A and B are shown apart, each in its own frame.
Chain A
């Protein structure tokens, strides 16, 4: 099992839980969409997986390890197995596009000669081959998102988490990115994509998780209702 949630809740500091009673599992090679209205807790849900927060209740397992109370020293190795495309990109403004994409390799202590070509290839693929030395403040929102995507993939992750990965790119690039996720998923990576875009979910036909009021709701009725309205 790649991700396991058992009755998981999340509260920030002493506030009320924004996520509660979550039971969920993601197996190797699975692809899930995560949807729900704004403020439903999609980003917080992903944060629990990429280890930005620990749950305030319940139990979270990642790659078979219980991370609920795992020592801090155990977390970096787990994080290196996850590629995250953050909704707000989270690039380092003082580094170039190349250096931002190379960051996961650099922190893993890999020599540049081993990843230089990979980084260039990814930047070329996302259409930023000519902006390799540009720094994020000089990039558009869409370009930043593409750099963030390349950074998430460079370390060949076992789990890809993407928070609204097509929100800032044009439809053609959005489709291209989603196709890549599907291909990577076929080749073994587990994928969770958080999105509002129901048409995207329908087009790919992958299972969906729906968050509502901090809880996981049954996703099927929402899709069925939407399809019913179309007929």
Chain B
């Protein structure tokens, strides 16, 4: 029986000629035909779930930014400002003491700016509680002076108050410390909640990825067995699983943050149309800084999903021969 020397010689056993493994570039690997088919990995539903979770994570991140910005604006006003309140037996005495106190403040080192709050402004501040009318005529409403002070003076407000009492015995200096503490605590709670929600959504993403990876490997049992039999390592198969989940996560999370950006844009537009929070609430700034920060979401989902899928695959494969 004569053979076929050409083809036989070409494919005769040869350890020496066996090509060495080469490391493929990341992009080349991502573009290569997937060795694990779509069936069973739940590509569509998984992409949709990641899109929804990315949307929620984007909103949580926006809430974090909003609270941080709002708390920063509020506390910076409170931190640099002090209010001097002058109480007295009658309005004439109050007015005299207030004028003296204002003069003293304006000549004191460390006071950047001092301004007397007019009786009309005081009356407007009281209107929500006491109603409209000639409140100042009926009550001895304390006079108010708003001042911005340097950090050095703020550390020693007791000295300023003692000094003020020499010209205005009814003067009390309020550094807004109580409000500052409460606002800071409320802001920190809000920020912590937003971070918690963000992490929770990422965790849910990891759990879904683990479940989908296990289901995908179970559905592709024959493919995995063939890959093993032709010499694939667990790491090679896990790379395939990771690559597939990375692509799904990238697609889903980009769709999710685009939706989140759109929703936040509409919310920001609605807030501005409604008067921009009446100067009390800062508007949501959707500038390039925020857009850049929003990229944390796809980065986070891609990382969490790919790593979870890889670890799940390695654990599942380790139970086989």
Distance from A157 Cβ to chain B, minimum over Cβ atoms (Å):
6
Contact of B21 with A187 in the complex, beta carbons under 8 Å: no
Inter-subunit contact A153/B11 (CB<8 Å): yes
Q: Is the CB of B229 within 8 A of A72?
A: no
CB of B28 to closest CB in A, whole Å = 9
Q: Is the CB of A156 within 8 A of B321?
A: no
B236 within 8 A of A: yes
Q: Among residues 232 to 249 in chain B, which have CB atoms less than 8 Å away from a CB atom of chain A?
A: 232-234, 236
Contact B226 A92 (CB under 8 A): yes
Complex: A157 Cα to B17 Cα, angstroms: 11
Residue of A51, A77, A99, A155 near B321 (CB, 8 A) is A51
**Beta-carbon contact of A156 and B14 below 8 Å:** yes
| Chain B residues with CB below 8 A from A52, complex form | 225, 229, 321
Whether B289 sits at the interface, judged by CB under 8 Å, is no
Judge whether A3 is part of the interface by a CB distance below 8 angstroms. no
CB atoms of B13 and A189 under 8 A apart: yes
The answer to whether B134 has its CB under 8 Å from any CB of chain A is no
Q: What is the CA–CA distance of A184 and B12 in the complex, to the nearest angstrom?
A: 5
20 A-B pairs whose Cβ atoms sit less than 8 Å apart in the complex = A50-B229, A51-B229, A75-B321, A94-B37, A103-B227, A106-B35, A109-B21, A109-B22, A109-B23, A110-B19, A114-B22, A115-B19, A122-B11, A125-B4, A151-B230, A176-B4, A180-B7, A183-B7, A184-B11, A188-B13
Partner of B10, one of A77, A105, A121, A176: A121
Q: Say whether B8 contacts A53, CB under 8 Å.
A: no
Cβ–Cβ < 8 Å partners of A156 in chain B: 11-14, 17-18
Residues of A within 8 A of B24 (CB): 109, 111
Q: Which residue of A lies closest to B38 (CB)?
A: A94
A76 with B1, Cβ < 8 A, contacts A92-B226, A187-B12 known: no
Minimum Cβ distance to chain A for residue B47 (Å)? 19
A109 to B233, CA, bound (A): 10
